[in-house]
Amino acid sequence: MLEVNSMGFKVYLILAWDDNSLVLVDAGFPGQTEAIVKAISSVGFSVENITHIILTHQDFDHIGCLRDLLKLCPKAQVLSHTEEAAYISGKKAYAKVMALLEKYDSLSEEQKVFCGERLQMYPSLTVPVNQTLSDGEVLPICGGIEVIHTPGHTPGHICLLFQKSGVLATGDAVGIKDGELVGPNPANNYDSDIALRSAEKVKQLPINAVATYHGGYLKFS
């Protein structure tokens, strides 16, 4: 787990490897490229050797440095859930904004500003997705990486179970509060009811630990 703290934001990316692969999970806020490169170097790896960038979902704080990173590791493949790929590649507009725009007249001024900012920002962050993923699929790299569809925060949000270690990279499907797993902030969800069901799904998984994107690491006894 790589702690990246820059541009006023702290996030936790995942780096996994085997003899043939170097995998990065998620890609930080816009402007964090240098910090991500330094974090990767600090654990003895070079960003140029990344073979896969797996995205848990489409939010701008998870795809923010994709374009910059791909310039440094041009052979890397970008992977996401099938339902997220069209958003990440720019074929569809940002899902949460489009959902808000359906009820534009009832939005607060803050929400209207949010929509405008994201619509302006999002096209500059999108990149093609090379491989789409589905629930239950196991990538035969890094000891096996199982894809677990956990929608709600976004339509195609995924968690990634590293089968060899039993560690689950949760993206934003769950957070950590007072040493316990909690669901994502309802204000940030595409569909909070579905997000809560996904959070309960995560809590029932037979895992040893979670690595959450904003909350860090929690090991279970």
- Could you tell me the CATH number of the domain that includes residue 153? 3.60.15.10
Instruction: Provide long-range contacts, Cβ within 8 A and 24+ apart, for 178-184.
Output: 179/218, 181/210, 181/218, 184/152, 184/153
Report the pLDDT averaged over residues 93-116: 89
31: containing domain: 2-219
pTM, rounded to two decimals: 0.95
In whole angstroms, give the CA distance from residue 216 to residue 76.
Answer: 25
Neighbours of 148 (CB within 10 A): 22
Total number of domains in the chain: 1
Cβ atoms of 132 and 110 within 8 Å: the answer is no
Mean pLDDT in the chain?
95
AA identity, residue 187: A
Report the run of H or E that residue 52 belongs to, with start and end: strand 52-54
Report the pLDDT averaged over residues 38-57: 98
Report the pLDDT averaged over residues 110-120: 87
